[in-house]
Chains A and B, each alone.
Chain A
Amino acid sequence: MSDLTELKTGEGRAKEITRRNFILGVIAGGAVVSAASYRFLSSTAHGGVFASDAGERLITLNVNGQQRRVDAMRQETLAWTLRYKLGLTGTKLGCDRAECGSCTVLIDDVPYYACSVLTHTVRGRKVVTIEGLASPSGKLHPVQQAVVDAQGFQCAFCMSGFIMSAVGYLKQNPNPTREQLAHGVSGNLCRCQDYTKILDSLMKGAEYMRRA
C-alpha cells in the first residue's frame, strides 16, 4: 500500500511512474476491491455479462475540471478509462507500454503516460487531457493556437501527447531554449519525424503563453 499512498499524495518518487509502481498499483488495487465503500457493477454495455472476472468499481475522477463518475476495473489504465469510458479519444494509444508518449495527460499539472497510470490511483487528483486545454468558450490554449499558426505536426497522432508534455513542461519553465524544450518533450515520439516543425510550433506556444 505504501507505494500507492505515495503515488496519491507524494511529491517525490511518486511523480515518476515506474514499472514497479505500476505493478504495485495493480496489486494494491486488487487488495482494496472488497473495501465497503465501493459497489460492484457489471458492464452496462454488454447486458450485464461480466465476462472477464475483473471487478469494476464506481469511482469519481476529476477530469478537465469536471467530476466524472466511472466504473473502472482494478487493472484499468487511465488511458483506457479516458478513451473507452469517458469518450475522451483525443488521448491516443500508440504503444500502450510507455514507449511513445501519445497518451500523455497532465495529472496535477505533471505530464504522465496515461497508458501506464492506473485509473484508481488518480482519484482526488486533477487530470487534464487535450480536450480540456481550450477554454470552455472554445478559445484555444496558447500552445494549441501556436500549433495551428505554425502548421505544427503532420499526421498528428502524437500531437495530443506532445502538446500535453509541452504544456506541463512550460508550466515549470516558461522561457526555455530550443534545447531545453526538446528535452522537455523527448519522452514523446513522432514517427512522421517532424521534429523541427514541432519544436518551432511549441517554441511559439511558449511565447504565446508568456504573453497571455
Chain B
Amino acid sequence: MAEMTPAELEKIESLKPIPFGTGYKLIGKDYSTNDLVAKVTGRAKYAEDFRAEGMLFCRLVLSPMPHARVKRINAEKALAMPGVKGILTPDEVPGHADYINDNGTTIKADKWGELALTDHPMYQGEPILAVAAVDELTAAEAIEAIEIEMEPLPFNTDPLDSLRPGTGNAREEGNVWVREGHEAPKLKVLKWTDEDFAAEKEGKLPMGHAPDEWTYGDVDAGFKDAALVLDETFLTPDVSHQCLEPRTTMAHWQNGKLFLYTGTQSTYQTVPAIARWMHMDEDKVVFISEYTGGGFGSKITGGLTLVVPALLSKKLNAPVMMRISREEEHFIGRARPGIRGRTRVGFAKDGRITAVDMFLVSDAGSYGSNGDGAACGSITSLLYQPPAMRWRNVTVATNTPPRSAQSAPGGMQAIAIMEPILSKAARKLGIDQVELRRVNCPEGKAEYGPPNPRTGKRAYVTSCYLKQALDEGAKKFNWKERVARGPKQVGTKVRGVGVALSTYHGGSIGFDGLLVITPQGRVQIHSGIGNLGTEAVIDVHRAAAEVLNVPWDACDIIWGDTSKPMPYTCASGGSQTTHAMTRAAHAVGLECAQRLKEVAAKTLGGQPEQYEVGNLRVFRKGGGAGMSFAQAAQAAIKLGGIYDGHEANPDVHKATKDAVAALAGQGLVASAKDKYPHDGDSYSYLACFAEVETDVETGKYHITDYLAYADVGTVVHPAALGGQVLGRSTLGIAHAIGQKWVIDPQYGATVAKRFYQNRPPTILDVPVDMQWDALNIPDPETPVGARGCGEPPVGGGCASILNALSDALGDNIYQRAPVNADTILTSYEAGRPMQNPLLAHI
C-alpha cells in the first residue's frame, strides 16, 4: 500500500454504499439521452446511411494467402468493363509517416506498420487492391476479371510453433517483438531450444528466453514460505471484436477538403489519424461520425482501410462508399490476442498469496506488437496484491489477422489465467472462495507493477473499495446460502457457483471542456467524444450542467461532426472518458459560472463574488439585480474578449483555442482545461458472481444467475452504467462459453470468420435477469468522483463462469477457454483436461 496508516485503512473499510444521486440534481439520476429518439425511429445516421450525388461503390480484394508477395496485377480487362471507374493499388497508398502526438513528441514512422493496401500481405484476408464501380455487383465482376500473380512465402500461424527450433517466421525480419529502452519494439529472431520444449510433453508451457521481464519482492522466499504452490498452464482465446456495424466508410472531396464518414470511438481524435494516414493537413479533414455501431477497442480512431475510399474518391472525383462485409470484417476488424500463460502461485495457509511467477506467450498477429502481455502482468499485481512477483513475456508475430486492444486488453487474459488458480487453491486449502479473494484484495491506494527503474517506487491507484464490493456482492448474491445449498448434483445436472475479482484502467486527465451560453439562453455544450453507445458522449456533460445549476432540458449537445467546433478530447478507449471528461466538464462548468458572474458584475455593478448562478440566471446573492442567461450572453457579446470567445482561456489546448475562435461572438463562450490534482492512477473494480448448471451427459451448460458489483466511483448515469457493467461482463463471458478463432495451420486459412462460426452470445446464452449494483463511493482524486467502467467487468465476467464450472465439475476439466460442451464431455469422464492448452486456433 502506498503510505497508508492503519487509521486510514480503517476509514476506507468503514465506507458504505451510497444511494445513487445523493447530493446531486442530475448526476446519479436516470434520464433519456438526447440521441435516443433518433435511434428508435431509424433517423440516426451511421456511416453506411449517408448518400452523396453520383456515389460510387468500391470493394476490396483480399489476399488468399497468409504470406505472399504480389508480383503482377493486370486490371486492363476489368477497367474496360462498363461501369468500372478505377482501381487503387498499394503504390497509391501513402506510406508510413512520422507524427507528433498530443504531448508534442514526434513518433517516428513504423517501417513494419500496416498500410491500407499492400503488395506484401502478412495474413490471409489482408487487402491488396480496391475497385470502384457504379455499383457493387459491377465491382465484384471486375474483381473476377483482374489477374493477380502472387508468390507464396513461408508463414507461421502459431506463436509457440514459431519459437520452436527450425520453424519459419511470420515475417522476414523476425518472429518476436523486442522492446529496448524507450524505443518502439523491434522485430528479432528468437528460437528456443529442444530442452526448453521438454515441458511440452507434460502439457506445460515451455519457458525459454523471454525478452520482457520484471520482478519485485523476493519471489523465491515467497514460494519457500508457501503452504501450497500451484503451477498451471492456461490458454485464453483470440476473439474478434465483431462490432455489429462493420467499418464501412464513405468519402467525398469538396474544395480541397476531405469529408469522411465512418464510425469511430472518438470524433476529435480521429482527425489527426486520418490526416496522418492521408499525408494531409488536419484542417483539410472534415470527419462525420454521429453514431458508431460498437468499437470495443477496434475503432479507437477508425480503421486504417478508411483511406481507401478517400483516395479513390480523390482519384475518380466522385464520392465513394466502401461497404465492409461481415467476412471482411473478420479479417480487418481486429481481435484480442490469445495468451498462453504458465503461472506459479504460492499460497499461505490462510489463502494469502505469497508469490506469483507468471510466464506468457502473447500472439501479436501480423502487424505491430501489443501491450496485452504487459497489462496482464500489471493487472495481476494490482488485483491480487502479491508481495513478490516475477513477470516474463514473449510477444510473437504470426501470419494471422492483426490484433488490437479489446475491452480490457491484457486485463481480461490476466484474470482468466489467475482466477481458476485461486479457485483451485481455495478448494485445496479448504477456504471459502470469497474469503480467499478477500484476503488478497487490493485496498485504498494499492500499489501495483514493478518499481519504476528511475525512482525505485511502485505506482499506486487513486482509490480502491473492492473489499466492500465483494462483501456487498456476496450478500446480494446470497453467496453463503448458494454454497451451502445441496445437493449439488441432481440426476445428470450439476450446479456450481463462482466468484471472480476484476479490474481495469478507469480514467485519464488533462482534457478540455467547451460550452456556449447562447443569446437565446440555451446551454450549448460541444462534445468531441465518439458516440459508440456508452452514452459518455452526453452523460459526462451532466457534470457541467450540475455545476451551472441548470435544468438538463436547457442543454443542447453538439457532437459527431468536426466541421462544428469541439474541444481537445480523449479517445474513448481505455475506459478513460467518464473520468477524463467529467473532469473537463466540471472545469468548464465552473469557468462558465465565473464568467457569468463577471459579466453580471460588469453590467449590473458590484463584484463577481457577490453573484450566484442558478435556474438559468445569474443574480445577486440574497436577492436584487440579476440577468437571465440570454441577457448575459448578449452582454458577453458586447464585452467581447474572453467573454464571447474572441480570446480563449490561455490554459486550453491549441485545438480548443481554434474551436473557441470559430465560436467567437456567438454568445458567452467558456473553455477550460482539467487541471484538478490527481494522486495515483485511476482503476475501476468489480466483484463478479455466477451460477451455472451443467449436464454431464451432454456437456451442455447454461448460466442461471449472474451479478456484478462495481466500485467505479460516483455513478453518473445508472442505466448507462448498468449497460456497461453487464454488457462488458457478457463480452467477457463470451470468452468462457464459446468464442474463439479456428485457423487451418496447413494453409494459414481462417475457418471461423462469420457470426455463425464464431458467435457472440445471444440473449439466450445469458440469464434473462442479470444483476448489477455499485457502491457509488466517490473517487477522492477527481471532482465528480466518477471513473470509467467499459473494460473492468470483462475479466470478471469470463472468470466467474470458469470458476463456477470448476466448482461444478472439479479442477480437471479445462486448461483453455472457451469451455464448450465437447470440453466437458471429453474431460469429465477422463478426469483430466483433454484439450491441448498449447495449440493455437483449434
Q: Which residues of A contact B534 (CB under 8 A)?
A: 154
A2-10, A24-32, A106-114, A144-152 - interface stretch: A144-152
Q: Which of B238-260 contact A (CB under 8 A)?
A: 242-246
Q: Which residues of A contact B245 (CB under 8 A)?
A: 92, 94, 155, 157
Closest A-chain residue to B137, C-beta based? Answer: A52
Q: Given A49-B83, A154-B534, A155-B292, is A193 in contact with B42 using a C-beta cutoff of 8 Å?
A: no
Q: Which of B137, B720, B769 lies in contact with A54, CB distance below 8 A?
A: B137
The answer to whether A155 touches B533, judged by C-beta atoms less than 8 angstroms apart, is yes
Nearest-neighbour CB distance to chain B for A99, whole angstroms, equals: 4
Closest B-chain residue to A180, C-beta based? Answer: B768
Tell me whether A158 is interfacial, beta carbon within 8 Å. Answer: yes
Tell me whether B727 is interfacial, beta carbon within 8 Å. Answer: yes
Q: Interface 1/0s, chain B 314-333, versus A by CB < 8 A?
A: 00000000010110000000
The answer to whether A156 touches B32, judged by C-beta atoms less than 8 angstroms apart, is no
Q: Which residues of A contact B49 (CB under 8 A)?
A: 83, 89
Q: Interface 1/0s, chain B 703-730, versus A by CB < 8 A?
A: 0000000000000010110111011111
The answer to whether B293 touches A95, judged by C-beta atoms less than 8 angstroms apart, is no
The answer to whether B762 touches A51, judged by C-beta atoms less than 8 angstroms apart, is no
Distance A50 CA – B51 CA, assembled complex (angstroms): 20
Closest B-chain residue to A164, C-beta based? Answer: B42
Distance A147 CA – B729 CA, assembled complex (angstroms): 22
The answer to whether B755 touches A196, judged by C-beta atoms less than 8 angstroms apart, is no
Tell me whether B283 is interfacial, beta carbon within 8 Å. Answer: no
Number of chain B residues whose Cβ lies closer than 8 Å to a Cβ of chain A:
71
Q: Which residues of B contact A96 (CB under 8 A)?
A: 325-326
Q: Which residues of B contact A197 (CB under 8 A)?
A: 719, 722-723, 726-727
The answer to whether A94 touches B137, judged by C-beta atoms less than 8 angstroms apart, is no
Nearest-neighbour CB distance to chain B for A180, whole angstroms, equals: 10
The answer to whether B293 touches A149, judged by C-beta atoms less than 8 angstroms apart, is no
Tell me whether B221 is interfacial, beta carbon within 8 Å. Answer: no
Q: Which residues of B contact A88 (CB under 8 A)?
A: 42
The answer to whether B754 touches A160, judged by C-beta atoms less than 8 angstroms apart, is no
Q: Which residues of B contact A97 (CB under 8 A)?
A: 326, 754
Tell me whether B294 is interfacial, beta carbon within 8 Å. Answer: yes
The answer to whether A178 touches B82, judged by C-beta atoms less than 8 angstroms apart, is no
The answer to whether A51 touches B134, judged by C-beta atoms less than 8 angstroms apart, is yes
Q: Which residues of B contact A160 (CB under 8 A)?
A: 42
Distance A189 CA – B758 CA, assembled complex (angstroms): 13
Q: Which of A134-153 contact B (CB under 8 A)?
A: 134, 140, 144, 147-151, 153
Tell me whether B39 is interfacial, beta carbon within 8 Å. Answer: yes
Q: Which residues of A contact B293 (CB under 8 A)?
A: 92, 94, 155-157
Q: Which of A43, A83, A100 lies in contact with B134, CB distance below 8 A?
A: A43
Tell me whether A117 is interfacial, beta carbon within 8 Å. Answer: no
Distance A163 CA – B763 CA, assembled complex (angstroms): 14
Q: Given A52-B83, A134-B41, A194-B723, is A155 in contact with B731 using a C-beta cutoff of 8 Å?
A: no
Nearest-neighbour CB distance to chain A for B377, whole angstroms, equals: 27
The answer to whether A193 touches B37, judged by C-beta atoms less than 8 angstroms apart, is no
Nearest-neighbour CB distance to chain B for A29, whole angstroms, equals: 15
Q: Interface 1/0s, chain B 167-196, versus A by CB < 8 A?
A: 000000000000000000000000000000
Q: Which residues of A contact B759 (CB under 8 A)?
A: 189
Q: Given A131-B41, A131-B42, A155-B292, is A147 in contact with B760 using a C-beta cutoff of 8 Å?
A: no
Tell me whether B18 is interfacial, beta carbon within 8 Å. Answer: no
Distance A46 CA – B137 CA, assembled complex (angstroms): 14
Q: Given A99-B756, A100-B244, is A159 in contact with B722 using a C-beta cutoff of 8 Å?
A: no
Nearest-neighbour CB distance to chain A for B218, whole angstroms, equals: 42
The answer to whether A99 touches B763, judged by C-beta atoms less than 8 angstroms apart, is no
Q: Which of B763-796 contact A (CB under 8 A)?
A: 763-764, 766, 768-770
Q: Which of B84, B135, B730 lies in contact with A195, CB distance below 8 A?
A: B730
The answer to whether A191 touches B756, judged by C-beta atoms less than 8 angstroms apart, is no
Q: Which residues of B contact A178 (CB under 8 A)?
A: 768-769
| Chain A interface residue bracket vs B | 35 or more
Closest B-chain residue to A203, C-beta based? Answer: B768
The answer to whether A199 touches B768, judged by C-beta atoms less than 8 angstroms apart, is yes
Tell me whether A93 is interfacial, beta carbon within 8 Å. Answer: yes
Tell me whether A17 is interfacial, beta carbon within 8 Å. Answer: no
Tell me whether A121 is interfacial, beta carbon within 8 Å. Answer: no
Q: Which of B26-54 contact A (CB under 8 A)?
A: 30-33, 36-37, 39-46, 48-49, 51, 54
Distance A158 CA – B243 CA, assembled complex (angstroms): 10
The answer to whether A89 touches B48, judged by C-beta atoms less than 8 angstroms apart, is yes
Chain B interface secondary structure, helix, strand, loop or mixed?
loop
Tell me whether B625 is interfacial, beta carbon within 8 Å. Answer: no
Tell me whether A67 is interfacial, beta carbon within 8 Å. Answer: no
The answer to whether A52 touches B533, judged by C-beta atoms less than 8 angstroms apart, is no
Q: Which of A157-205 contact B (CB under 8 A)?
A: 157-160, 163, 178-179, 182-183, 185-186, 188-199
Distance A197 CA – B30 CA, assembled complex (angstroms): 13
The answer to whether A192 touches B294, judged by C-beta atoms less than 8 angstroms apart, is yes
Q: Which of B41, B84, B138, B242 lies in contact with A191, CB distance below 8 A?
A: B242
The answer to whether B727 touches A95, judged by C-beta atoms less than 8 angstroms apart, is no
Q: Which residues of B contact A95 (CB under 8 A)?
A: 326, 754-755
The answer to whether B719 touches A102, judged by C-beta atoms less than 8 angstroms apart, is no
Q: How many A-B residue pairs have CB under 8 A?
A: 200
Closest A-chain residue to B140, C-beta based? Answer: A52
Q: Which of A34-58 contact B (CB under 8 A)?
A: 43, 45-46, 49-52, 54
Q: Given A99-B755, A159-B40, is A193 in contact with B768 using a C-beta cutoff of 8 Å?
A: no
Q: Given A182-B763, A193-B760, A195-B763, is A102 in contact with B244 using a C-beta cutoff of 8 Å?
A: yes
The answer to whether B135 touches A51, judged by C-beta atoms less than 8 angstroms apart, is yes
Q: Which of A49, A87, A94, A199 lies in contact with B763, CB distance below 8 A?
A: A199
The answer to whether B768 touches A179, judged by C-beta atoms less than 8 angstroms apart, is yes
Q: Given A88-B42, A97-B326, A160-B42, is A192 in contact with B81 using a C-beta cutoff of 8 Å?
A: no
| Residue among A102, A130, A156, A193 facing the most chain B CB atoms (10 A cut-off) | A193
Tell me whether A91 is interfacial, beta carbon within 8 Å. Answer: yes
Tell me whether B761 is interfacial, beta carbon within 8 Å. Answer: yes
Distance A196 CA – B323 CA, assembled complex (angstroms): 31
Nearest-neighbour CB distance to chain B for A209, whole angstroms, equals: 15
Tell me whether B515 is interfacial, beta carbon within 8 Å. Answer: no
Q: Which residues of A contact B42 (CB under 8 A)?
A: 88-91, 129-131, 160
Closest A-chain residue to B243, C-beta based? Answer: A191
Tell me whether B141 is interfacial, beta carbon within 8 Å. Answer: yes
The answer to whether B41 touches A195, judged by C-beta atoms less than 8 angstroms apart, is no
Q: Which of A94, A151, A193 lies in contact with B730, CB distance below 8 A?
A: A193
The answer to whether A186 touches B533, judged by C-beta atoms less than 8 angstroms apart, is no
Distance A197 CA – B134 CA, assembled complex (angstroms): 42
The answer to whether A94 touches B723, judged by C-beta atoms less than 8 angstroms apart, is no
Q: Given A185-B763, A189-B760, is A90 in contact with B41 using a C-beta cutoff of 8 Å?
A: yes
Q: Which residues of B contact A150 (CB under 8 A)?
A: 719
Q: Interface 1/0s, chain B 51-88, versus A by CB < 8 A?
A: 10010000000000000000000000000011110000
Q: Which of B33, B242, B532, B754 lies in contact with A155, CB distance below 8 A?
A: B532
Q: Given A148-B36, A195-B766, is A154 in contact with B291 using a C-beta cutoff of 8 Å?
A: no
Tell me whether B590 is interfacial, beta carbon within 8 Å. Answer: no
Distance A129 CA – B40 CA, assembled complex (angstroms): 11
Q: Which residues of B contact A89 (CB under 8 A)?
A: 42, 45, 48-49
Q: Which residues of A contact B326 (CB under 8 A)?
A: 94-97, 99-100
The answer to whether A156 touches B242, judged by C-beta atoms less than 8 angstroms apart, is no
Nearest-neighbour CB distance to chain A for B411, whole angstroms, equals: 17
Q: Which residues of A contact B724 (CB under 8 A)?
A: 154
The answer to whether B138 touches A52, judged by C-beta atoms less than 8 angstroms apart, is yes
Considering the complex of A and B, which 9 residue pairs feature the smallest CB-CB distances, nearest first? A90-B42, A51-B83, A157-B293, A155-B533, A154-B533, A193-B730, A52-B137, A89-B49, A130-B42
A contacts, CB < 8 Å to B: 43, 45-46, 49-52, 54, 83, 87-97, 99-100, 102, 129-131, 133-134, 140, 144, 147-151, 153-160, 163, 178-179, 182-183, 185-186, 188-199
- Residue pairs across A and B with Cβ atoms less than 8 A apart, 11 shown, are A46-B54, A89-B42, A95-B326, A144-B41, A147-B36, A154-B532, A157-B243, A179-B768, A193-B731, A193-B760, A195-B763
Please give 6 more A-B residue pairs, beta carbons under 8 A apart, in addition to A156-B39, A195-B726. A46-B54, A46-B83, A91-B42, A92-B48, A155-B245, A159-B39
